[in-house]
Amino acid sequence: MYIACFDLEGVFTPEVWIEVSNSTGIDELKLTTRDISDYDVLMKNRIDLLKKYHVTLKEIQEVIMNMKLLPGAKKFLDEIRPIVQVAILTDSFMEFVDPFLKKLGYPVCFCHSLEIGKKGLITNYKIRIEDMKRQTILALKSLNYEIIATGDSYNDVPMLHEADHGIFFRPPNKVIDEFPQFPVAKEYPELKRLIFNYLG
């Protein structure tokens, strides 16, 4: 039996921090692990910036609620959920992804969470488990599932490696060059075809 696992941002939704940066006008929120390679330093920098500019969780959630899914994402999910079990695996936080899950029809989602202070500001982030995406694949494999995993970038590579079948969806070109072993889908019908082929 199969479970199809998907990253969220870049696969079904735009990137949250870019949108928060655009909406708040705080340019430094656009920095990613490509700019600050240590994720903990990056996240603490983001939290400090939000505090400095008094941007509350609620304001961020309003930005996210106004974000649209990538065109075709909901239709794609609606088409595959009757065929194969689906799980979302994202290194984002429940407080952020909730509006997206609602729009996607509440697929199950493995993610992390945030700590919120009295004034509604984000005070810290809580990683539920390190190397979460790969650990989730391992846990599902321990239950005798075969896994088809789809992601869009570097942070998905350990999950794609651990899965029985890994697929890139709209990855940057340098990711394609570096990991030529994974097939690439640029549109949802292609992604659907790849997944259905594995299901046999």
| Choice from 44, 74, 81, 161 touching its own copies (CB under 8 A) | 81
| Choice from 70, 98, 154, 161 touching its own copies (CB under 8 A) | 98
Looking at the DSSP bridge assignments, the partners of residue 5 are 87, 149
Tell how far CA 197 is from the center of its chain: 24
Tell how far CA 22 is from the center of its chain: 19
* Interface with its own copies, residue 137, by CB under 8 A: no
19: annotated active-site residue: no
Q: How far apart are CA 129 and CA 38, in angstroms?
A: 17
* Interface with its own copies, residue 136, by CB under 8 A: yes
- Pinpoint the alpha helices (H) of 9-131: 16-24, 39-52, 57-65, 73-80, 94-104
Tell how far CA 155 is from the center of its chain: 10
* Interface with its own copies, residue 145, by CB under 8 A: yes
Q: For residue 113, what are its two tokens? A: 């969470």
Q: How far is CA 35 from CA 32, 45, 171, in A?
A: 5, 12, 18
| Choice from 52, 102, 119, 174 touching its own copies (CB under 8 A) | 102
Q: How far apart are CA 67 and CA 15, in angstroms?
A: 10
| Choice from 72, 139, 164, 193 touching its own copies (CB under 8 A) | 139
| Choice from 22, 30, 106, 124 touching its own copies (CB under 8 A) | 106
Stretch that binds its own copies, among 40-48, 61-69, 126-134, 180-188 (CB under 8 A): 126-134
Stretch that binds its own copies, among 47-55, 136-144, 152-160, 164-172 (CB under 8 A): 136-144
7: annotated active-site residue: yes
The residue ranges that bind its own copies (CB under 8 A) are 1, 81-82, 85-87, 94, 98, 102, 105-110, 113, 128-129, 132, 135-136, 139-140, 142-145
Catalytic residues: 7, 9
